[in-house]
Amino acid sequence: MPVATPKQFAAMLDAAQEGGYAYPAINCSSLTTVNAALKAFADSKSDGIIQFSTGAGQFVSGLNHKNAALGTIVLAEATHRLAEQYDVIVALNTDHCQPTAAESFLKPLIEATAARRAKGENNLFQNHMLDASNLPLEENMAISQEYLKICAENEIILEVEAGVVGGEEDGAAGTEDTPEEKLYTTPEDMLAVYEALHSIGRFTFAATFGNVHGHYKPGSVKLRPKILQQGQASVMEKYGKDAEFDLVFHGGSGSLLEEIRETLGYGVIKMNVDTDTQYAFTRPIADHMLVNYEGVLKVDGEVGNKKAYDPRAYLKKGEEAMAARVAEACNDLLSTGKTLFGSI
């Protein structure tokens, strides 16, 4: 199955909204991590989302170039080819892109999709995120409108954010000193987002409810999922049931299962997973190095063990462990077994 068409991706979001589940959106930064996500979705019979950050794009383009757009296009094209092997549907997204990077990152990616469409091919990306949440809401919505229009012309869904996700992720999002009230999107903000965007095209919305990127000790993050419920209620009260947002949960690493499940009832259809899968990937590699110390190193004039220091020896272990963590995310988000492959 190739990557989702725009219609299939829209159907995926509708099915999740209707069915009270969400898709894991897995940050990938290499072919190995893309393969881990694809394997997990297929083994779980779950559709899903693979996404790339600007940092992943820079990494993939090579140390001498750090060209975020080029590296991201390479990852996306490779994922299109690799995904054809599986019987589930995956959609491709780009993660946080701040307004200052939109011109050099989002524009070339959207152009890459437009070029494929002109040849009658599927979109390169089904979804992009524009994160203008560092701007005042009015300016945030002005630039979001501009990009939503270009995305809509190419049947791409745009993810926007209002309020600030705490913590740090590839230099995006808030900082340690983000004032606490900024971490929670208000019902008024949610109404303003709906009013600014709904007539232009389809979008998803990362409303914030205390989420923090990264991983923190229990108790230091105060999630208030009811914020989402209140925001949805105020929008639907004014504009009807169809105005319900497709919400995105950022910074979910380390959240309690009950908090994750609660958000599914409030319209969350996508949850980003990065920190937890990064750790899952690295954990068995650390183990490999420590257990095979004398194989991966040339100690005291010895020659080491090629089987132990061949990068595939440990990257495969990372891939396997990351796939297991992605499968856990499918279970947490109730997407396991719900693939729409073959039915849309």
Of 241, 247, 149, 143, the closest CA to residue 190 belongs to: 247
CA distance 272 to 254: 12
d(CA 152, CA 76) in angstroms, rounded, equals: 20
Which C-beta is closer to Zn ion: that of 39 or that of 325? 325
**How far is Cα 90 from Cα 103, in angstroms, rounded to an integer?**
26
Nearest distance from C-beta of residue 215 to Zn ion, angstroms:
13
Residues that bind Zn ion (CB under 5 A): 250
Q: How far is the CB of 248 from Zn ion (least distance, A)?
A: 8
Nearer to Zn ion, 202 or 250 (CB): 250
Query: Which region, left, alpha or beta, applies to residue 240 given φ > 0 means left and ψ of -120 to 50 means alpha?
Result: left
| Structure tokens given for 72 | 């991201």
Would you say 38 and 327 are in contact if contact means Cβ atoms under 8 Å apart? no
Looking at beta carbons only, is 250 or 338 nearer to Zn ion? 250
Residue nearest to Zn ion (CB): 250
Cβ contact 190:161 at 8 Å: no
Least distance to Zn ion, CB of residue 306, Å: 40
Residue 211 beta carbon to Zn ion: minimum distance, rounded to whole angstroms = 8
Q: How far is the CB of 113 from Zn ion (least distance, A)?
A: 22
> With contact defined as beta carbons under 8 Å apart, do 156 and 200 qualify?
no
Tokens of 323: 């796939």
CA dihedral 43, 46, 110, 200 (to 10 degrees): 180
Would you name the residues annotated as active-site residues?
95
Q: Which residues are CB-neighbours of 119 under 8 A, at least 6 positions away?
A: none
* For Zn ion, the closer CB: 251 or 284: 251
Nearer to Zn ion among residue 98 and residue 292 (C-beta): 98
d(CA 264, CA 266): 5
DSSP H helix total and E strand total for the chain: 14, 8
Shorter beta-carbon distance to Zn ion: residue 171 or 337? 171
CB of 291 to Zn ion, least distance (A): 34
Q: Are the CB atoms for 29 and 55 separated by under 8 Å?
A: yes
DSSP string, 161-187: EES--BS-BTTBS--TT--GGGGB--H
